[in-house]
Amino acid sequence: MTHISVPGHFGEWIQGRIGARGPVALITLPVADHVRLWHVPQRRGLRLHGVGLRPVEVRRFLRSLGLDLRGVVRMRAQTLLGLGTGVSTARLVGLARLAGWQGSPEALVAACIESEGAADPLPFPAPERMLWASRIGRPLEHLSPLPRYEILGGFWGGPSFTDPQDTNFGDISDLVAQWSLACGLEEFAALATQSALRCTDRRGPKADPTPQLARDLGALGWLRAHTGAARGLIFAPGTVPDDAAGLLRATGLRQLRQFRGGER
């Protein structure tokens, strides 16, 4: 039996169009060890459990990479599809790796987009360090490392699946320009908050409790899945209030998670 894990993400720091008619782009918020897959090889056939895809879809995706996979595959993800955590891309990346993929992340992303119409930058070693055009599968800009941060978040609302034809996002060109000049975590958190607010104003849901939670708990800012239910409060490491998780639960957030990231 082969066992692998694939990282996912927890919404985005920012997401929107680059120019009023430009491509949809994002800066992802990665999380480790999000999707796990197990493979028991067999000589014939392909059986899938928990993957959310039919064997014919998996075979078509793998053929586009020159790969084949036979046997039994089981998948377990920390969250459901459609919550804004990258399960859709992560499962394809995992399937390719089970089948022996050793090629470039660019080629793997291209196959993911051919299969699903959009892809997160999960095959890359530092996905948060690129302004990523998710419908065309390439970085528009390479970014500096983020300061160290801590996220406390959960899920509010139900699944919302990415439509590759959906371009109903605001222009974030100004936020991208400021992101490139930002230094401290406070600045990055403020830009993430602006992106989240623009998304909520344009796409809803209007009753999102996360902005009030950020104020009540003294967070530096908040972020969200711009398509999906993930919501996160941004703190400096070690500054999350002791009673914060209880307040999130009382407000209706579920499946809470707390994690750290950043490099400087």
Domain 2-140 has CATH 3.30.230.10: yes
Largest Cα–Cα separation, the chain: 58
- CA 93 – CA 186 distance, rounded (Å): 33
Q: What pLDDT is stored for residue 191 in this prediction?
A: 98
The predicted structure's pLDDT at residue 33:
79
pLDDT band for position 264 (50/70/90)? confident
Please say if the pLDDT value at position 20 is more than 90.
no
pLDDT of residue 199: 97
Give the β-pairing of 71-77 and 2-17: unpaired
| pLDDT at res. 26 | 98
Q: What percent of the chain stands above pLDDT 90? A: 97
Over residues 164-193, the mean pLDDT reads 97
| Percent of the chain predicted with pLDDT > 70 | 100
> Could you read off the pLDDT of 78-90 as tens digits, one per residue?
999 999 999 999 9
Measuring CA to CA, how many Å separate 18 from each of 15, 141, 259?
9, 11, 29
| pLDDT tens-place string over residues 21-35 | 999 999 999 998 799
Q: What is the pLDDT of residues 188-222, one digit of tens each?
A: 999 999 999 999 999 999 899 999 999 999 999 99
For 232-250, what is each residue's pLDDT tens digit? 999 999 999 999 999 999 9
Q: Is 144-261 in CATH node 3.30.70.890?
A: yes
Assess whether pLDDT exceeds 90 at residue 5: yes
Domain limits of the chain?
A: 2-140, 144-261
